[in-house]
Structure 1
Amino acid sequence: MTVLENIVRQHAERSAALWAQRDSLVLDDPPDLDAVRAIDGRLEINLDGLRVAGRAAWPRVLALHEEASGKGELFVLAWTALELESADYVVRAVEIARSADDGPGGLLGALAWHEASKIAPWVRDWIDARDSFKRFLGVSACLEHCVDPKQVLAPRLRDPDASVRTASLQLAAKLGRTDLTPEIRNAVSDEDQQVRFWAAWTLSEFGRGDPSIAELRKTVERGDRNALVALRAVVKSTPATELRSWIGTLLHLPQSAPLGVRAAGMLGDRSVLPWLIEQMNNPAVATAAGASLLELFPETRLADDLFTNDPVAAGADFGEYFADRIARVPLADKVLEWGRRQGYVK
Structure 2
Amino acid sequence: MMLAATRNQKSKGAPEQPIAPDVVRQHVEQAAFFWAQRDTLLTDDPPDPHVVAGVDRRLEANLDGLRIAGPAAWPFVVAAHEDFPEKGELFLFAWMAIEQNDGLRVSEAVELGRQREDNARGLVGALAWHKPGTIAAEVRDWIGAQDAFKRFLAVSACLEHGVDPKQMLARLVRDRDARVRAISLRLAGKLRRADLAKELRAALEDGEERPRFWAAWALAELGSGDLATPELRKVAVAGGPDAMTALRAAVGAAPDKDVRAWMGGLLKVPETAPLAVRGAGMLGDRTLLHWLIHQMRNPALAAAAGSALLELFPEAREADLFTTEPSQVGQDFEDHFGDEVAKVPFADKVKAWGNAGGWLAAS
Q: Same fold (TM over 0.5)?
A: yes
What is the CA distance between 1:101 and its match in structure 2? 5.5
Q: Distance in 1 between matches of 2:350 and 2:224?
A: 40
Q: Which deviates the most, 219-228 or 274-283?
A: 219-228
1:88 to 89, 104, 126: 104
Choose which of 322, 342, 345 in structure 1 pairs with 2:357: 342
Residue pairs, 1:161-180, within 5 angstroms: 161-180=177-196
**Equivalent of residue 160 in structure 1, options 153, 173, 176:** 176
Aligned to 2:341: 326
- Residue 11 of structure 1 is aligned with which of 24, 27, 46? 27
Aligned positions of 1:205-220 closer than 5 A: 205-220=221-236
For residue 114 of structure 1, the aligned residue among 130, 135, 139 is 130
Q: Which residue of 1 aligns with 2:326?
A: 311
Q: Which of 251, 264, 267 does residue 280 from structure 2 map onto? A: 264
Q: Any gaps of 5 or more consecutive residues in structure 2?
A: 1-17
Count of residues in Structure 1 that have an aligned counterpart in Structure 2 = 344
Percent of counterpart pairs with the same letter?
Answer: 56
Deviations 1:262-281 (A, max 9, x none): 11111111111111011001
Query: Is the partner of 2:220 in helix, strand or coil?
Result: helix
Question: Is 1:144 paired with 2:160?
Answer: yes
After TM superposition, list the pairs within 5 Å mapping 1:1-346 onto structure 2: 4-100=20-116, 102-304=118-320, 306-345=321-360, 346=362
**In structure 1, distance between residues paired with 2:131 and 2:238:** 39
**Large movers: runs of 4+ above 6 Å:** none
Q: CA deviation at 1:3?
A: 5.5
Structure 2 CA distance for partners of 1:252 and 1:160, relative to 1, 3 Å: same
Instruction: Determine helix, strand or coil for the equivalent of 1:150.
Output: coil
In the alignment, the residues of structure 2 paired with residue 214 and residue 136 of structure 1 have an alpha-carbon distance, to the nearest angstrom, of 27
**What TM-score does the superposition give when structure 2 sets the normalisation length?**
0.92
Gaps of 5+ in 1: none
User: How large is the RMSD of aligned CA atoms in angstroms?
Assistant: 1.4
Q: After superposition, give the CA deviation of every residue in 1:79-113 in whole Å (9 maximum; x if it has no partner).
A: 00110011101011111111135541011111000
Query: Per-residue deviation at 1:256?
Result: 1.4
| Distance in 2 between residues matched to 1:218 and 1:99, nearest whole Å | 31
| Offset, 1:225 | 3.6
Query: What is the Cα deviation at residue 202 of structure 1?
Result: 0.8
